[in-house]
Amino acid sequence: MSFPLLLAVLLLVGICSPATGKVYGRCELAKILKASGMSGYRGVQLADWVCLAKWESDYNTNAENHNTDGSTDYGIFQINSRLWCRDGIIRSADGCGIPCSHHSRESPPGSLDVTSGTEPMEEEDLAGPGPRDVMPGLEPMAEDHEPDPYDLTSCLPL
């Protein structure tokens, strides 16, 4: 997968959403990313993408967070308006060449069919260097919370 294709997939999932937005389930998002070829892309495991989406937006395609520098982070992966998209509010490098507020679709991001042509997940998709490797003190969530977003074993098969 080429870098431009990676950006297209991330933007489809991260920015192009229904007007009302969508909050994905952990396994639902994992299936879409897997079907889009994101598992293992440039060494980034599927679990890392899902974990990123959880902590950046809580899987919400309409998430917006305003930063102290005047920029805004948009979508499920919090694409930044100063670097990656243009929102007409702040001067942008516009690295992706698209508007930040591209929320005009009524169908799921990219209209990806996650049920046909997908292969079962491989064991290496489920783990790998991740947040706990970088921050050894990071503890798993307590039992009474939702599942650990980094653990996709309950999502099998994808």
As annotated, the active-site residues are: 56, 73
Answer yes or no: are the C-beta atoms of 74 and 103 closer than 8 Å. Answer: no
Tell me the C-alpha distance between 30 and 158, whole Å: 7
First to last CA, the chain: 20
Tell me the C-alpha distance between 15 and 10, whole Å: 8
Tell me the C-alpha distance between 126 and 97, whole Å: 32
Nearest to 53 by CA among 93, 15, 82, 26: 26
Residues paired with 72 in a beta bridge: 66
Find the helix or strand (DSSP H, E) in which 133 lies.
Answer: helix 131-134
For the chain, the residue count is 158
Tell me the C-alpha distance between 79 and 77, whole Å: 6
